[in-house]
């Protein structure tokens, strides 16, 4: 029983209606349809949640599946883990791999993108004293820390790349090309497909090609892009990848996976020296005895994702971003993603012109929430200054982002 919540919270309908016909861009603007999609999420109506980048809310079919699996795990105890889980996990892995365009032998489930990223970086075997590793200012801070740990352990250097701001496709490619050309003995590059600070999407395949020409391996962090953007992994050309299932795929918290191209498995060590299954990618992940209900619920999440359709999800999230961004273009507000559709999705950051400090941007976050009940998040680590990140979800309405635009107009005029 849920307590302390308004009736409207607990009484939402459970499922969305069938997707209407039409092109993704047309469906993206169909508010009656998206109201039906939103009804599949049990969200608190007391505030506008525009901080959906941390993790995604489960749609009701997934939530129900998760609770059923959790109850079964509690009832069956170790019998479920010893007699049934492996087969069910294999089925889930096959579905994930098929959707991603790879084989199930090339993925291993983790508790999220962070664990996947740490395992790939810390297990990387091709680093020698005097080599270099590189990350960008916009890359996830845990990935930056893991690269520093790896470099320190192997006597390597750490190089930091600054993503141009404002960013364009050509400027980003030129920045990576210059870094790859001028960094001696660069061996490993961390590359965020869609970064968690500003939401900028970079041309991964082209950067991977540039790196490969120089003998540089690339770990692609796709935690924020898969389920948000419509792509398969072969299009990114990555040998190593990091993915979340509890962000944009709508699976329960505690679900993600790593990818290693099968020909490259030996270049990532088994976790903590486990040599029992060296040829099995699952030896690159050891999470101990964990809650398996999230993994058992992945199939339900993929069902919901496929019912909506990846191109339609991408179009809707981009439409919501465009709707509020275009309303504030005449204001002294800096938008940190360009208007090139290939370089953004739904997640975008902004700062009020000239306000680059942590205090400036946390004040904006506080004002939006306390005065307008709009929940956003402050982000740091951007070379030109801190910012505020705005991340809509599938249950976000056009009215919600209009409310943000109006609040920013009021704030910019103060």
Cα separation, 241 vs 259, in Å, equals 5
Residue 115 lies in a domain: yes
Residue 302 pLDDT level (bands cut at 50, 70, 90): very high
Residue 1 lies in a domain: no
pLDDT in tens, 311-351: 999 999 999 999 999 999 999 999 999 999 999 999 999 99
Q: How many beta carbons lie within 10 A of that of residue 340, not counting itself?
A: 11
Residue 278 pLDDT level (bands cut at 50, 70, 90): confident
Predicted pLDDT at 275: 78
Tell whether the model's pLDDT for residue 155 goes beyond 60: yes
pLDDT in tens, 168-201: 999 999 999 999 999 999 999 999 999 999 999 9
Tell whether the model's pLDDT for residue 20 goes beyond 50: yes
Predicted pLDDT at 279: 86
Residue 374 pLDDT level (bands cut at 50, 70, 90): very high
Last residue of a domain, one of 255, 270, 303: 303
Q: What are the C-alpha distances in Å from 116 to residues 227, 243, 268?
A: 17, 7, 12
Please give the residue range of the domain that contains residue 316. Answer: 7-58+311-412
Mean pLDDT score across all residues of the chain:
95
- Domain of residue 162, CATH code: 3.40.640.10
Q: 286 and 147, same structural domain?
A: yes
% of the chain with per-residue pLDDT over 90: 92
Q: Based on the structure, what is the number of domains in the chain?
A: 2
Residue 136 lies in a domain: yes
pLDDT in tens, 88-99: 999 999 999 999
pLDDT in tens, 214-235: 999 999 999 999 999 999 999 9
Residue 414 pLDDT level (bands cut at 50, 70, 90): low
Q: 253 and 224, same structural domain?
A: yes
pLDDT in tens, 387-396: 999 999 999 9
Q: 84 and 193, same structural domain?
A: yes
Tell whether the model's pLDDT for residue 47 goes beyond 60: yes
Cα separation, 231 vs 319, in Å, equals 18
Predicted pLDDT at 17: 65
Q: 70 and 187, same structural domain?
A: yes
Predicted pLDDT at 63: 98
Residue 2 lies in a domain: no
State the DSSP code for 82. Answer: I
Residue 7 pLDDT level (bands cut at 50, 70, 90): very low
Cα separation, 144 vs 241, in Å, equals 15
Q: 209 and 140, same structural domain?
A: yes
- In 321-393, the DSSP E strands lie at 333-335, 348-352, 374-375, 377-379, 387-390
Q: 176 and 81, same structural domain?
A: yes
The answer to whether the predicted template modeling score (pTM) of the entire model surpasses 0.75 is yes
- Domain of residue 331, CATH code: 3.90.1150.10
């Amino acid at each position: 029983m849920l307590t302390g919540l308004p009736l409207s919270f607990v009484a939402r309908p459970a499922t969305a209606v069938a997707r209407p016909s039409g092109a993704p861009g047309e469906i993206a603007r169909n508010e009656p349809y998206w109201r039906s999609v939103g009804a599949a999420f049990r969200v608190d109506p007391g505030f506008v949640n525009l901080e959906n980048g941390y993790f995604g809310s489960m749609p009701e079919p997934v939530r129900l599946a998760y609770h059923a699996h959790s109850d079964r795990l509690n009832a069956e105890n170790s019998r479920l883990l010893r007699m049934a889980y492996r087969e069910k996990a294999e089925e889930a892995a096959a579905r994930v791999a098929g959707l991603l365009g790879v084989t199930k032998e090339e993925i291993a489930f983790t508790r999220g993108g962070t664990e996947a990223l740490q395992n790939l970086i810390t297990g990387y075997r091709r680093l020698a004293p005097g080599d270099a590793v590189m990350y960008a200012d916009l890359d996830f801070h845990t990935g930056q820390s893991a690269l520093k740990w790896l470099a320190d352990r192997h006597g390597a250097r750490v190089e930091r790349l600054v993503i141009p701001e404002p960013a364009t496709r050509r400027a980003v490619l030129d920045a990576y090309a210059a870094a790859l050309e001028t960094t001696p003995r660069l061996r490993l590059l961390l590359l965020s497909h869609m970064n968690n600070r500003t939401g900028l999407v970079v041309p991964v395949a082209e950067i991977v090609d540039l790196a490969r020409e120089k003998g540089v391996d690339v770990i692609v962090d796709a935690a924020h892009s898969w389920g948000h953007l419509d792509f398969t992994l072969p299009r990114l050309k990555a040998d190593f990848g990091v993915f979340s299932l509890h962000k944009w795929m709508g699976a329960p918290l505690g679900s993600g996976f790593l990818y290693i191209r099968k020909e490259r498995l030996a270049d990532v060590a088994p976790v903590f020296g486990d040599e029992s299954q060296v040829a099995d990618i699952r030896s690159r992940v050891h999470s101990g005895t964990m809650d398996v209900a999230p993994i058992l619920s992945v199939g339900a999440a993929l069902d919901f994702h496929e019912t909506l359709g990846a191109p339609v999800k991408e179009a809707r999230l981009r439409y919501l971003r465009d709707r509020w961004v275009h309303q504030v273009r005449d204001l002294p507000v800096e938008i940190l993603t360009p208007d090139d559709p290939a370089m953004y999705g739904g997640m975008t950051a902004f700062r009020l012109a000239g306000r680059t400090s942590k205090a400036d941007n946390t004040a904006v976050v506080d004002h939006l929430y306390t005065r307008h009940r709009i929940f956003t998040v402050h982000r740091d680590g951007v070379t030109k200054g801190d910012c505020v990140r705005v991340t809509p979800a599938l249950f976000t309405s056009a009215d919600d982002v209009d409310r943000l635009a109006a609040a920013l107009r009021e704030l910019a005029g103060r």
